[in-house]
Chains A and B, each alone.
Chain A
Amino acid sequence: MTQWKETDADRRLETWLAAAPRVAASPAFCERVMRAIEARPLPWHTRLRRLLFAPHTLRWNLAGAVATVLIVLSVSIALGLYAGRAPAPIAAVAPDAARVVTVRFEVVLPQARQVSLAGDFTQWLPRVLLQRRPDGTWTTEVRLPPGDHEYIYIVDGERWVTDPRAGRYRDDGFGNRNAVLTVPSV
């Protein structure tokens, strides 16, 4: 350890230095600094924090909202088709003279022992039984006219299950949601 002997001269010199006057405050300096800071773009870390943690206000209009919903629906349907697990039901392809089309309903419920279909086209009675495939998918086909149709699945005769892949839903007035299927005019 280095040791030095401090003399009176050293102490006086240190006192002189400690008493050296500082530059006086300049009222304009702070304002200049603040203007310079506010004129610059926010630092990246501040922008990132704001983006992640600051509350944001969502501004929207009806046209934008409708367009967004349509895009989301289109993408969802496209992805469902691409994955080979199309949202059920799929309005298909077999129009007849009365413009009734055959619609295939499909739902994945591997644990279910029985699945039936009820809707406004069955007067909400579980009249249509679905067939089970080996992979746990339940399916059936129903002929429906063009227009909106609400429906729901009934599992094992007691549990009402809303189709998780439906494009639209509507409140049933009793705290649950029915799936809505639109059969297009052909």
Chain B
Amino acid sequence: MEHEEQEREWVAQCLQGDAQAFRPLVQRYERMVRSVIRRLIAAEHAVDELAQQTFVTAYESLAQYSGDARFSTWLCQIALNKSRDAMRTWHRRPEEDINGGLELESAAAGPDEELEEKQRHAHLQAALRRLKPADREVIVFKYILGFSHAEVAKTIGCTSEAAKVRSHRAREELKRVLESMGIVP
């Protein structure tokens, strides 16, 4: 709660014209926004540009941020819209190397574990890439970011019940794709 109150305070300072108050918000959510866009569009060369657009749009729209939802949820909505717009512009699904260029952080303890984790991650990303955009969005927000069904619903624009159904179906679809690649969770 203290975390969210602090964010509301930063937002209030921004609205009073103190642009520097936006800096801690960028620092706090940079990785989340860049990761979300990276998962959704996969086109590495465009990630930083879209992430930057996300933050600039957020700054310019701060007056519309009601504070009802978490700031991170609101930011993800903007990142999702930027990604959807980009995908519409490109008229294609993500098809580039999912790990190319951007450095990813590993939580593995040793070299073997790290290698295994990298392989698993590569398989997951390959499977994600083969999902429909709508399924991929749900997987990213529900299972990778750990949003609640209500937060997923708010982010992608549906009811909580629909988010729950779509989460289940997207997970089933991901599992099916992985199995078709010879990967059994």
Chain B: residues with Cβ within 8 Å of the partner, total of 50
B residues in contact with A33, CB < 8 Å: 26, 30, 52, 55-56
B residues in contact with A45, CB < 8 Å: 15, 62-63
The proximity string for B residues 36-71 relative to A, scoring 1 for CB distances below 8 Å and 0 otherwise, is: 001000000001100110011001111100000000
Number of CB contacts from chain A to chain B under 8 A = 120
Chain B residue with the shortest CB-CB distance to A53: B16
Do residues B185 and A9 form an inter-chain contact, with CB atoms below 8 A?
yes
Does any Cβ of B come within 8 Å of A16's Cβ?
Answer: yes
Do residues B19 and A22 form an inter-chain contact, with CB atoms below 8 A?
no
The proximity string for A residues 25-44 relative to B, scoring 1 for CB distances below 8 Å and 0 otherwise, is: 11001101110111010110
Do residues B165 and A2 form an inter-chain contact, with CB atoms below 8 A?
yes
Chain B residue with the shortest CB-CB distance to A9: B185
Among the listed A13, A14, A22, A30, which residue makes an inter-chain contact with B23, where contact means beta carbons less than 8 Å apart? A30
Do residues B31 and A22 form an inter-chain contact, with CB atoms below 8 A?
yes
What's the interface size class on A, roughly? Answer: 35 or more
B residues in contact with A13, CB < 8 Å: 143, 171, 174-175, 178, 185
User: Interface residues, chain A, CB within 8 Å of chain B?
Assistant: 2, 4, 9-10, 12-14, 16-26, 29-30, 32-34, 36-38, 40, 42-43, 45-46, 49-50, 53-54
User: Interface residues, chain B, CB within 8 Å of chain A?
Assistant: 14-17, 19-20, 22-23, 26-27, 30-32, 34-35, 38, 47-48, 51-52, 55-56, 59-63, 102-107, 117, 120-121, 124, 139, 143-144, 146, 164-165, 168, 171, 174-175, 178, 184-185
